[in-house]
Amino acid sequence: MALQTITWMSAFLCLAQVCSMPMPCQLQGQLVRITHNLLRDMGGHFPLECLQENVFMAFPATAFAISGAPQLSSSGAKAIYETLKNIDTLFGADDLPTKWDQQKLENFQNIVYRQIEESKCMMVSVDTSDYLIRAEGLNTYFGNIAAVLKEKNFSYCAWEVVRKELLYTLQFILEHNSDSLLWANRT
């Protein structure tokens, strides 16, 4: 009986140890892909009626640049995290387009929020060697996006311009920085 109790206790302690191990602090690639797809699908193609309101915004590719390493540096991964935080802030507005698929919009907002909450640990140790430069580029970019929304009174076309820009941003991350994301199954 004592041997069985010890065996069960050992198994329990082993399981408790494994379950309490810290999870890697990485953004989930599949969630970034789902976020991109929901953003793409919630509004369809860029509307023809909005072509005249389409403006150029310089994309901060340097914020996601890989500096000679096969893996994205920790400051680069933090740039992706900051991008998601900025997206969450933009989509926290009350005057989002009603022409968009509201269920996909809600799912998009929930997944962006989930990614931010699950990855807060990324901001614990900041690699200051290049993070500040990356953050500055992102702040300028998202400041320009917010300014376009405000300048155009949060119109449907202004939101479509924002959606187009954010689709490009998420696509860039998926194509150029997917090695820094955690993937459950790569097929």
Cβ contact 125:74 at 8 Å: yes
Which pLDDT band, with edges at 50, 70 and 90, does 22 fall under?
A: very low
Q: Within 13 Å, how many C-alpha atoms sit on residue 14's CB side? A: 6
Residues 6 or more apart whose CB falls under 8 angstroms from that of 38 comprise 104, 105, 107, 108, 111
Pairwise pLDDT comparison (35 vs 17), residue with the higher score? 35
- In the chain, what are the domains? 25-180 (1.20.1250.10)
Contacts of 101 (CB under 8 A, 6+ apart): 41, 42, 43
Q: Which residues contact 100 (CB under 8 A, 6 or more apart)?
A: 42, 43, 159
Answer whether residue 3 shows pLDDT above 80. Answer: no
Q: What angle do CA 85, 120, 162 make, to 5 degrees?
A: 10
pLDDT of residue 77: 77
Whole-number pLDDT of residue 71? 45
Residue 57: the pLDDT is 87
Does the predicted model carry a pTM greater than 0.85?
no
Across the range 38-44, mean pLDDT stands at 95
120-158 per-position pLDDT tens digit: 887 776 555 677 888 889 999 999 999 999 999 999 999
Please compute the mean of the pLDDT values over residues 25-54 and round it to a whole number: 91
Q: What angle do CA 136, 142, 145 make, to 5 degrees?
A: 145
Categorize the per-residue pLDDT at 160 as very low, low, confident or very high, splitting at 50, 70 and 90: very high
